């Protein structure tokens, strides 16, 4: 067994590593090192916690750690980048459910300690946690009960909410907003009942109050996320990430685990900040995202005139050969087609011909912030030509050719031109200001949000239909 001093020192070291990991992830060049900081920090946290004072049951713990490690390694090896958002949602659900189980267990141990005290006041064969509870004063036990309530409620909402988010992202659940009759009143009623159950529990009611509390919170998580449109799922996943962090922090207080408190607070706060950034990038109110579906038109949408004009690879290649400045806008379609390598090959060929080539990245391109940056880094696209929306949006007017690969809502001019559009006011990449725009798209359907895009009908736009990777591979030999 390791002494408490070693465990405390390890907790500080792991916390520092986690902070360095989060800080490094803001920069593409430092991201790999930052990931290793996180890996090492978690390894330190698990080892020193598992072998700390008062910990036992290794005959069960060690096999569970090995099984979990094997499952995690297999998942990491099999999951494609396009499936990363739903994997994140699935992992959030595990954190939420773990919080519920730990909180239930904590209350059962609390009741066991109180029952033993009532008999003879002896410590008996208490577990490490029960022994900790036995040392608490009455007011500290009240705080413990509050922590149990918070852990159960936040954890249960996170669990079912994350399961539904996973289903919507994976296409296993309809992405349209759907709610039971009564809508948000059901959520409000369930929240009020949850508060009443919490008060009953704190007043000395039985374990049944925690079971009902969890059931109501499970419903709130399910119904809340079912009522949110698929296009808002990136914000929802980020929000659930924050929830999972606060659930972990609540359980950290319950277990008197400083490292869990710090880690949970880091995840909770970073998830909340990321959700705010994404809402700002979409010109959306965070509360509106949580309480409703994507957008909300104020009247009939503007009529779209014209038609979608197709172009083949030779036509796109001719325009690229004549162009001096080119901007590429990647989206989720590039990720689905796994076209990032073909994009990288095209960029290298164009730059070798002396052309200026840059990428424009919208903050919510793909399904998670940074999704496109990771794919382009994977394909070895130079970091210095990958620019964020605010850095490049004013340059489209002086650009010869824009190639849009699998993007829809983030290049939709209706956001600025149609006040009745569901995405009115959302900051978008102003690709239509370029001289020529080529849109690589599988077909004429709408995007993930189901909103028609007037860009596809503009006079300077041409539709380059087909699978993005196949289309780009056909284009490569024609580019001089």
DSSP codes, 115-148? HHHHHT---TT--HHHHHHHT--HHHHHHHHHHH
Give the neighbor-by-neighbor strand order of the sheet with 436-441: 386-388, 356-361, 325-330, 401-405, 436-441, 461-465
The confidence score (pLDDT) of residue 282 equals: 72
Residues 6+ apart with CB under 8 A from 140: none
Place of tokens 């029960």: 130
CA 159 to chain centre: 14
Task: Quote the mean pLDDT of the chain.
Answer: 84
- Report the C-alpha gap between 211 and 158 in whole angstroms: 16
- Which sign does the torsion angle of CA 427, 428, 432, 435 carry? positive
Q: 325-330 and 386-388: which strand pairing? A: unpaired
Class level of CATH domain 313-478: alpha beta
CA 111 to chain centre: 37
Confidence of residue 293 (pLDDT cuts 50, 70, 90): very low
Mean pLDDT of 250-276: 86
Tokens read off for 125: 């064969």
The confidence score (pLDDT) of residue 297 equals: 47
Q: Is the CB of residue 105 less than 8 Å from the CB of residue 160?
A: no
Tokens read off for 94: 């595990």
Q: Is the pLDDT of residue 400 over 80?
A: yes
Phi, psi of 246 (to 5 degrees): -70, -35
- Report the C-alpha gap between 361 and 370 in whole angstroms: 9
- Report the C-alpha gap between 206 and 145 in whole angstroms: 12
Model's pTM, two decimal places? 0.79
User: DSSP character for 477?
Assistant: G
Place of tokens 């809508």: 183
- Report the C-alpha gap between 409 and 413 in whole angstroms: 9
- The set of catalytic residues is 409
Residues 6+ apart with CB under 8 A from 108: 207
Mean pLDDT of 193-216: 94
Q: Among candidates 85, 174, 82, which has minimal Cα distance to 450?
A: 174
Confidence of residue 307 (pLDDT cuts 50, 70, 90): confident
Mean pLDDT of 340-364: 93
Among 83-87, 280-284, 323-327, whose mean pLDDT is lowest? 280-284
Mean pLDDT of 313-332: 94
Residues 431-460: pLDDT tens digits?
A: 999 999 999 988 766 655 567 889 999 999
- Report the C-alpha gap between 81 and 47 in whole angstroms: 30
Q: Is the CB of residue 181 less than 8 Å from the CB of residue 124?
A: no
Sort 283 into a burial class: Cβ within 10 Å, 0-12 / 13-18 / 19+.
middle
Classified as helix, coil or strand, 82 is helix
- Report the C-alpha gap between 323 and 205 in whole angstroms: 74
Q: Among candidates 295, 175, 279, which has minimal Cα distance to 230?
A: 175
Q: Is 121 left (phi over 0), alpha (psi -120 to 50) or beta?
A: left
Mean pLDDT of 359-365: 89
Q: Is the CB of residue 259 less than 8 Å from the CB of residue 45?
A: yes
- Report the C-alpha gap between 99 and 190 in whole angstroms: 20
Residues 6+ apart with CB under 8 A from 277: 363, 369
DSSP string, 175-234: -S----TTTHHHHHHHHHHHHHHHHHHHTT--THHHHHHHHHHHHHHHHHHHTS-GGGHH
Most confident of 85-89, 178-182, 236-240, 265-269: 265-269
Tokens read off for 11: 């907790």
Higher pLDDT, 451 or 398: 398
Q: Is the pLDDT of residue 82 over 80?
A: no
Most confident of 5-9, 200-204, 212-216, 405-409: 212-216
- Report the C-alpha gap between 240 and 169 in whole angstroms: 14
| Cross-strand partners of 388 | 361
SS (H, E, C) 375-410: HHHHCCCCHHHEEEHHHHHHHHHHCCEEEEECCCHH
Q: Which helix (H) or strand (E) holds 461?
A: strand 461-465
Number of C-beta neighbours around residue 301 at 10 A: 17
Number of C-beta neighbours around residue 25 at 10 A: 18
For the chain, the residue count is 480
The confidence score (pLDDT) of residue 36 equals: 92
CA contacts within 13 A on the Cβ side of 419: 1
Q: Is the CB of residue 250 less than 8 Å from the CB of residue 106?
A: no
Residues 40-56: pLDDT tens digits?
A: 999 998 888 888 776 77
Higher pLDDT, 203 or 80: 203
The confidence score (pLDDT) of residue 430 equals: 94
């Amino acid at each position: 067994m390791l002494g408490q001093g070693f465990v405390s020192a390890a907790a500080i070291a792991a916390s520092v590593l986690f902070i360095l990991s989060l800080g490094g992830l803001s920069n593409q060049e430092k991201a790999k090192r930052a990931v290793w900081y996180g890996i090492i920090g978690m390894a330190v946290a698990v080892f020193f916690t598992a072998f700390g004072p008062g910990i036992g049951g290794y005959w069960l713990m060690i096999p569970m750690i090995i099984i979990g490690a094997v499952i995690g390694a297999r998942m990491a090896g099999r999951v494609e980048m396009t499936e990363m958002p739903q994997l994140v949602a699935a992992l959030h659900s595990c954190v939420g459910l773990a919080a519920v189980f730990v909180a239930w267990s904590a209350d059962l141990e609390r009741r066991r300690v109180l029952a033993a005290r009532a008999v003879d006041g002896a410590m008996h064969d208490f577990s490490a946690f029960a022994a900790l509870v036995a040392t608490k004063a009455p007011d500290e036990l009240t705080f413990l009960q509050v922590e149990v309530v918070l852990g159960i409620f936040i954890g249960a909402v996170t669990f079912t909410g994350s399961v539904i988010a996973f289903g919507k992202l994976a296409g296993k659940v309809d992405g349209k907003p759907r709610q039971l009759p009564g809508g948000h009143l059901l959520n409000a009623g369930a929240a009020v009942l949850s508060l009443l159950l919490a008060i009953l529990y704190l007043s000395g009611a039985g374990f049944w109050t925690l079971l009902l509390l969890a059931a109501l919170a499970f419903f709130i998580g399910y119904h809340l996320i079912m009522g949110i449109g698929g296009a808002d799922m990136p914000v929802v996943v980020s929000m659930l990430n924050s929830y999972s962090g606060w659930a972990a922090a609540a359980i950290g207080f319950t277990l008197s685990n400083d490292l869990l408190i710090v880690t949970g607070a880091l995840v909770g706060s970073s998830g909340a900040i990321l959700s705010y950034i994404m809402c700002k990038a979409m010109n959306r109110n965070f509360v509106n995202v949580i309480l409703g579906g994507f957008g909300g038109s104020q009247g009939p949408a503007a009529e779209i005139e014209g038609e979608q004009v197709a172009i083949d690879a030779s036509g796109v290649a001719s325009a690229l050969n004549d162009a001096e400045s080119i901007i590429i806008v990647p989206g989720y379609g590039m990720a689905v087609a796994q076209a990032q390598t073909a994009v990288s090959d095209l960029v290298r060929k164009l730059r070798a011909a002396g052309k200026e080539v840059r990428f424009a990245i919208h903050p919510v391109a793909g399904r998670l912030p940074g999704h496109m940056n990771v794919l382009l880094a994977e394909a070895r696209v130079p970091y210095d030509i990958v620019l964020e929306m605010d850095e490049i949006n004013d340059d489209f007017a002086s650009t010869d050719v824009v190639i849009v690969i699998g993007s829809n809502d983030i290049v939709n001019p209706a956001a600025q031109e149609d006040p009745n559009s569901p995405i009115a006011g959302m900051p978008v990449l102003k690709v239509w200001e370029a001289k020529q725009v080529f849109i690589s798209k599988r077909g004429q359907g709408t995007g993930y949000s189901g909103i028609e895009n007037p860009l596809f009908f503009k006079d300077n736009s041409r539709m380059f239909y087909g699978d993005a990777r196949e289309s780009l591979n056909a284009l490569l030999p024609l580019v001089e």
